[in-house]
Copies of this chain bind each other. A is one copy, B any other.
């Protein structure tokens, strides 16, 4: 039986990944500090005899070493990070600690206990603000404009050195926006929350033209499982994305449609980005992952609509 250790396993993406690994018949060790993750996300997994939960902080190496020594995983999935870019804009220490230091300590444990396989959740934010450029995995001059992007790019650099020095295999995905059931923050989450409070008007950060690809979480988890068995040592890196992209105003429209609201007044705060450090537009080249045989099931607009349906008052989508 394969043994997985999912750091950040009670988070939005982590909890979906734990579920998928259990369905494959794996033994799954979940570590979370419940800062952004929640027990609710993994409630249905707790009775599974192949699921074990540790409440621990991945930035603290002593606690992590105890778990690594006891559980000796075959695969480590590192999904622990501050995922709320807006929050860390006013406190970069959050990224230093929760995004970068967690990576360093996880890699140190892998080095110490000779764990050879890592999956790492990176981000489009490592590229910085490249506007109309089409971004592929070889795009040069990576220049993050957010502390989040900086801590993720620093983490990628650590993974490069640790995998070389310790003969590891590391799969890195640079995620776009990821959405689906159990969302904890982000534009869809915010808009639904605001419209449930006030169905007449909606404040929209920026000019509403921020336009990004949104991937549905099951598509992303499918890609992780498809590529996690690597043939070679070292780092394999993919942009992961979907067809199309969705503007913030379009998201508001879809939410209003699905909530059955009309004549909602949109109030734009103005400016290109939602906040300083926000990259208002980016375009991925997906040739590498497509040629490797993976394509997302849901387009960006489809992922948004499906997510909205699932998140309106906890309604389930069974289409």
Residues of A within 8 A of B (CB): 89, 92-93, 96, 100-101, 104, 107-108, 111, 126, 128, 137-147, 149-151, 153-155, 157-158, 160-162, 164-165, 235, 276-277
Contacts and interface: CB of A to CB of B under 8 A. Distances in A.
Contacts of A151: 157-158
A158 B154 contact: yes
A147 B160 contact: no
Contacts of A154: 100, 150, 153-155, 157-158
Contacts of A147: 158, 161-162, 165
Given A154-B157, A160-B150, A89 B144 contact: no
A151 B103 CA distance: 12
The winner among A142, A144, A276 for most chain B CB atoms within 10 A is A144
Given A144-B161, A157-B144, A96 B104 contact: yes
A275 to B, nearest CB: 10
B145 A164 contact: yes
A95 to B, nearest CB: 9
Nearest to A154: B154
Contact of A139 (B93, B137, B140, B164): B140
A272 to B, nearest CB: 14
Given A96-B104, A143-B160, A145-B161, 14 more contacts: A89-B165, A92-B111, A92-B161, A92-B165, A100-B154, A137-B141, A144-B160, A144-B164, A145-B164, A150-B154, A150-B158, A151-B158, A164-B277, A165-B277
A277 B166 CA distance: 10
Name the prevailing secondary structure of the A interface residues.
helix
Nearest to A143: B160
Contacts of A149: 157, 161
B143 A150 contact: no
A147 B144 CA distance: 21
15 contacts: A89-B165, A92-B108, A92-B111, A138-B141, A142-B157, A142-B160, A143-B164, A145-B161, A145-B164, A147-B162, A149-B161, A150-B158, A151-B158, A153-B154, A164-B277
A96 B105 CA distance: 10
The winner among A96, A157, A162 for most chain B CB atoms within 10 A is A157
A92 B126 CA distance: 23
Contacts of A100: 100, 154
Contact of A93 (B96, B108, B142): B108
A128 B101 CA distance: 22
A107 B89 CA distance: 14
The winner among A104, A147, A153 for most chain B CB atoms within 10 A is A104
B93 A143 contact: no
